[in-house]
Amino acid sequence: MTLFRNSIFLLLALLLAVPAQAGHHDEGPAKPAIVLAAFGTSYPEAVKSILNIKTKVEAANPGVPVRLAFTSNIIRHIWQKRQDDAAWKTAHADIPEEVLYVKHPLATIADLQNDGYRDVTVQSLHVFAGEEFNDLLALIGGLKAIRTLKAKNMPFARLAVGRPALGMPGTEYPYTEDMARAAKILKDDVDQAKKLGAALVYMGHGNDFFSTGIYAEFQKVLQAEYGYPIFIGCVEGYPAFDDMEAQLKGAGKKKVLLKPFMIVAGDHASNDMAGNEDDSWKTMLTKRGYTVTTDLRGLGMLDGWADIYVDHLKDAMAATPGAQ
Flag whether 92 is marked binding.
no
Given 3-state DSSP classes, what are the helix, strand and coil percentages for the chain, each rounded to the nearest 5?
Answer: 50, 15, 35
Flag whether 236 is marked binding.
yes
Residue 32 contacts residue 64 (beta carbons within 8 Å): yes
Q: For 290, list phi and psi in degrees, rounded to 5.
A: -95, 145
Neighbours of 111 (CB within 10 A): 15
Tally of CA atoms within 13 A in the half-sphere of 56 that contains its CB: 24
User: Cα–chain-centroid distance for residue 241?
Assistant: 25
Residue of 112, 82, 116, 75 lying closest to 96 (CA atoms): 82
Cα gap 122→318, rounded to integer Å: 13
Query: Which positions ≥6 away from 210 have C-beta within 8 Å?
Result: 130, 131, 134, 237
Cα gap 261→216, rounded to integer Å: 13
> Could you say which of 25, 92, 104, 205 is catalytic?
205
Q: For 53, list phi and psi in degrees, rounded to 5.
A: -65, -45
Query: Which positions ≥6 away from 69 have C-beta within 8 Å?
Result: 35, 36, 37, 38, 102, 103, 104, 105, 107, 108, 109, 122
Task: Give per-residue burial for 63-79: e unless 16+ CB within 10 Å, then b.
Answer: ebebbbbbbeeebbeeb
Q: Is 126 a catalytic residue?
A: no
Cα gap 314→324, rounded to integer Å: 13
Q: For 189, list phi and psi in degrees, rounded to 5.
A: -65, -45
Binding residues for Co(2+): 205, 236, 268
Would you name the residues annotated as active-site residues? Answer: 205
